[in-house]
Amino acid sequence: MKPLIALAFALTVAAAAHAQEMKKDIPYASPAAERQVLDIYAPKDAKNLPVVFWIHGGGWQTGDKSSVQEKPKAFVDRGFVFVSTNYRLLPNVPMETIIRDVAKSLGWVHKHIAEHGGDPKRIFVMGHSAGAQLAALVCIDDRYLKAEGVPFSALKGCVPVDGDTYDIPAIIETAETRRRVHHQPQAKFGHREKFGNDPKKHTDFSAVTHVAGDKGIPPFLILFVADHPDNNAQAQRLGAVLKEAEIPVRVFGATETNHNRINARLGTADDPSSAALFEFVAAALK
């Protein structure tokens, strides 16, 4: 790239970043509980831009919409509106309420994001860890979004990042067997308890349960830490079920990283997961 062109490009990117606008703590329910709020990041004078809907992690017990690191800037600089949502948490509410909060938040976005420069027909749903399970489930089990008036046709893609609960019975069996054979005490509030301590609920809250080729499920990019055996197995499991249903899917394992770092670096330069993410998004928008 010639020096003057490179300088112009850098100034353009800097100007775009400087022009980012943020609207904080917008309620998505009426009346809204304290955590039923979301933040919107958008370029100045945004209009009809694709939307990223981000779901934070934290084991369904902690976490906050403000923990987005470089993601808003990375997407706003590329001409997106970025939304980060909160939801109520365990143990204050059961898992089903958490899922319905996420769906309600996405329903609000579908209805109102045009007022903030976004295109309600071009939404990408993404999330990390617990947020990965929530993202995958609402993009596969259509009951939740149907209840909020959001058609799957509005979803351009889903990107769950390093989740371990796409097949909940499998992770429960894996974790409890590991503790048992090593003579370790079982978790007092592990996945079994978090997802309702009922085998029927464990199956129902698993994204793999609801995959079908005729539902309009959007394309998936499943990001995971390659050397973490549980998350690797869960990513491959979800990818295989989607592939069998002929739903476009890419499963990408990141090396030389960990559960927190894959999230923190998402959207940064020279990050392989970010490169896969932006390649996926660009292809989905063609």
CB count, 10 Å around CB of 185?
Answer: 7
* 44 within some domain: yes
Residues in the chain: 286
What does the pLDDT read at residue 10?
44
* 7 within some domain: no
* 2 within some domain: no
Strands (E), 31-147: 37-42, 49-55, 81-85, 118-128
- Per-residue pLDDT band for 20 (boundaries 50, 70, 90) equals confident
* 176 within some domain: yes
Q: How many domains does the chain have?
A: 1
CATH number, domain containing residue 174: 3.40.50.1820
pLDDT per residue as tens digits for the range 100-147? 999 999 999 999 999 999 999 999 999 999 999 999 999 999 999 999
| Residue 95 pLDDT exceeds 60 | yes
- Residues with Cβ within 8 Å of residue 10, at least 6 apart in sequence: none
| Residue 16 pLDDT exceeds 70 | no
What percentage of the chain has pLDDT greater than the value 90? 93
* 14 within some domain: no
> Any idea what DSSP says for residue 231?
H
C-alpha to C-alpha distance for 90 and 207, rounded to whole angstroms = 20
* 272 within some domain: yes
* Average confidence (pLDDT) over 144-171: 98
Q: What angle do CA 103, 106, 109 make, to 5 degrees?
A: 155
* 11 within some domain: no
Domain span holding position 281: 22-285
* 123 within some domain: yes
pTM: 0.93
CB count, 10 Å around CB of 203?
Answer: 15
- Residues with Cβ within 8 Å of residue 100, at least 6 apart in sequence: 144, 147
Kindly list the catalytic residues. Answer: 129
Question: Would you give the distance in Å from CA 68 to the centre of its chain?
Answer: 12
Angle between helices 168-181 and 229-244 (to 10 degrees): 150
Q: What angle do CA 138, 139, 140 make, to 5 degrees?
A: 90
